[in-house]
Structure 1
Amino acid sequence: MTGNLEDGERGGAAGPFLEVACDESGSDGENLTGGNTDVFAHAGVSLPVAAAAAAVREIRDRIRSPAEEYKANHLLREKHRAVLGWLLAPDGPVHGRARVHLMEKSFFVVDRTVGLLLDDPAAAVTLFRAGSRTFGEEGWRAFLETANRLLRVRHDGDPVDAFYGTVDVLRRNRPRTDAAQVLDRLAGTRARAVSYRAEFLAGPPLIPVLDPLLPAIVRTAALWSGDGRPVRLVHDRQNMLTPDRIAWIEEAARRAGVGLAGLRLVVAREDARVQVADFLAGIARKIASDELNGRGDPALTALLRPYVDPASVWGDARSGALLAAPVAGRW
């Protein structure tokens, strides 16, 4: 992806950099199984300020809501479907200038849990794809919730006992299945889980294992710096984005070979580019959630598809309607 030189500024000897405005939708912090959404979306938009402001004005003129601040839900209403189509269409204001990284939260929990305890990405995919079918909706929900409690910084009760108690019950109920074989391996990892929880006694970690925002920002930077030009991100203010965590993002990008020239925080309502990114993130999250839950709208899914990062994080082939090829991703 490339942008006009007016989008960025001169970056010294490195030449011009591209400025990309970002926002997210679906963030529930570390509560990935008990929150209000099942998909997390992080969008990046490379538009000149004037072009973004014109797009926002056009949306307001077409929708004519008295709301002071417009959000994605305005565009997602059936009566404004034509406005949504205009925004995402191939000849619309953001086509070729916007991308969105999507993450299926339940798979992210499984991947992070299996990654921490077994360091085996393939086992995470096997467990996720077979979990609900093997253990039933209630049993699988119990696994996801106790895994979420085990990894999150804040918790109630003893998350280690709750997790391994659930693992033992499920694997005994459905022995010799592919999913139970993964749980058999997890059953032997209690010492590693205890060690993980003990680390919290010294204070909460700088980078929570389960919060998707920080790695999503690194991935967004990677998406836009692929042409060799450094990228600077302009992001909506978030409590999560402390100076120390911004430094971690910049270092993680450097280690990954991503040309991130910096991250600047702004108030969304004061930057039209971030408002457009907010629209795209919210729209993408809703369309992706509908698709994953079997209630997708083929026309809207087709409109969204060109914007979706092919490295979005899914656990099974339900992503096929959103991506060119179904993949199981991992950060």
Structure 2
Amino acid sequence: MEQLPPITDDDAMSRPPAHLHPVEIACDESGSDGENLVNGNTDVFTHASVGLDRTAAEQGLDETFDRVRSPASSALTEYKANVLLRPKHRRALIWLLGPSGPLLGGAHVHVVDKRHFLLATTTALLTDTDEETADLVLAAHHAGPETYGTERWRDFLAAANDLLRARTRPDAPDPVEAFGRSVERLHAVGPADAAGPAARLTERLLPTRERADRIRLHLAQDPGDWPVLDPLFPALLHTIGHWSTGGRRVTVVHDRQNTLTPERIGHVAAATGGALAEVQLVEARQDPRIGLADFLAGTTRKIASDLLQGVEDPELTDLLRPYTDSPAGSPASWRWSGSRPG
């Protein structure tokens, strides 16, 4: 297990009361494609956290294995969520998520529609935002494919993705020029609903060449501790915010991955205002809580992705609602109803 140094008083100006013991959570994610938010393998990113103790988590995993008739043991096996998504194991999944399972009341999952996150981030960086911006972005996200056509809208999002990547391919066209052309192509369509949200957002993005140039130059010179398009950073902030309610500090036990460098953990710590106590990176099979987090993240991602494609599973959707509450209007907020764009 790799244990990063505890956060010190130099890392934040304030912290919750010292007499409160940190709450320890174990986390895993599903659907990560890094900064590739348009042409990756998945359209949804999820980050799950489990606050159970190790004994309860191990018992929950063993019961899950028993229900899928697996000889595996939580102490020996890293078991992936796709097993629970098989039709023959549906009853086991319903048990795991439901009131009789181990997770309800002790777990949380943050759900990110990648294209919505991209559109919100692009708008925030290139335009002057106001209290109506979040609602406009969400409405434009849903209306964009119908307003401009699926392919033209996808090309616009791909250009936005290239504009905000920390590093571009050497053979790629100039990302600022490509983004500007993509916005102009949307504007040239002249949609029937010129007052609709997609058209209004396009109008906001038209005069942004100067800002786009500055952002591209800044990314080339100093990409920073964390790429602006990597959804793991805001997901960690959301997760820590969820578990620090009431003033508790949070210790995060996370599945080991290369993106969680000490520098990036320090960036998270600074952004949480002292709520993060420390981060421990472990191999997934070493902690049964990470096994449960993997189940929750993976199953939620698949069910959410199906919903984006117009395939809804009302029973599983209802079971997931208690785990996925997100602040309304946040760039990566998720709504189990009305989540399908277009």
Regarding TM over 0.5, the answer is yes
Aligned residue pairs: how many?
A: 310
1:188-233, Cα deviation, whole Å (9 max, x unpaired): 1111111111123324321211001011111101101112222211
Q: Which residue of 2 aligns with 1:260?
A: 276
Q: CA deviation at 1:264?
A: 1.5
Name the CA distance, whole Å, in 1 between partners of 2:247 and 2:261: 28
Q: More helix per residue: 1 or 2? A: 1
Q: Which residue of 1 aligns with 2:305?
A: 289
Note if contact 1:45-1:277 (Cα within 8 Å) is conserved in structure 2.
yes
1:204 to 216, 219, 223: 223
Note if contact 1:103-1:314 (Cα within 8 Å) is conserved in structure 2.
no
Q: CA deviation at 1:319?
A: 2.3
Name the CA distance, whole Å, in 2 between partners of 1:317 and 1:243: 27
Which amino acid is 1:218 matched to? L
1:241 to 235, 257, 260: 260
Note if contact 2:31-2:46 (Cα within 8 Å) is conserved in structure 1.
yes
**Structure 2 residue matching 1:248: 3-state secondary structure:** helix
Name the CA distance, whole Å, in 1 between partners of 2:333 and 2:239: 23
Equivalent residue runs for 1:61-140 within 5 Å:
61-65=66-70, 68-120=77-129, 121-122=133-134, 123-140=136-153
Change in Cα spacing, 1:316 to 1:51, as seen in structure 2 (3 Å) is closer
Name the CA distance, whole Å, in 2 between partners of 1:286 and 1:206: 30
Change in Cα spacing, 1:201 to 1:303, as seen in structure 2 (3 Å) is closer
Gapped regions of structure 1 (runs ≥ 5): 1-10, 327-331
Give the structure, 1 or 2, with the largest relative contact order (CA under 8 Å, sep 6 or more).
Answer: 2
**Structure 1 residue matching 2:25: 3-state secondary structure:** strand
Note if contact 2:31-2:42 (Cα within 8 Å) is conserved in structure 1.
yes
TM-score between the two structures when normalised by the length of structure 1: 0.87
Please, what is the CA RMSD of the aligned residues?
A: 2.4
**Structure 2 residue matching 1:321: 3-state secondary structure:** coil
TM-score between the two structures when normalised by the length of structure 2: 0.84
Which amino acid is 2:214 matched to? S
Name the CA distance, whole Å, in 1 between partners of 2:110 and 2:142: 21
Q: Which residue of 1 aligns with 2:54?
A: 49
Change in Cα spacing, 1:316 to 1:31, as seen in structure 2 (3 Å) is closer
Structure 1 residue 221 and structure 2 residue 246: aligned? no
1:143-174, Cα deviation, whole Å (9 max, x unpaired): 11111111112322211111111111110112
Q: Mean alpha-carbon deviation: is it higher for 215-224 or for 167-176?
A: 167-176
Q: CA deviation at 1:89?
A: 1.0
Name the CA distance, whole Å, in 2 between partners of 1:151 and 1:219: 22
Q: Which residue of 2 aligns with 1:3?
A: none
Q: Which residue of 1 aligns with 2:185?
A: 169
Structure 1 residue 144 and structure 2 residue 157: aligned? yes
Change in Cα spacing, 1:169 to 1:43, as seen in structure 2 (3 Å) is same
Change in Cα spacing, 1:66 to 1:162, as seen in structure 2 (3 Å) is farther
Change in Cα spacing, 1:315 to 1:112, as seen in structure 2 (3 Å) is closer
Q: Mean alpha-carbon deviation: is it higher for 45-54 or for 151-160?
A: 151-160
Q: CA deviation at 1:14?
A: 2.2
Note if contact 1:21-1:277 (Cα within 8 Å) is conserved in structure 2.
yes
Q: Which residue of 1 aligns with 2:204?
A: 185
Identity among equivalent positions (%) equals: 49
Change in Cα spacing, 1:299 to 1:250, as seen in structure 2 (3 Å) is same
**Structure 1 residue matching 2:270: 3-state secondary structure:** helix
Change in Cα spacing, 1:30 to 1:66, as seen in structure 2 (3 Å) is farther
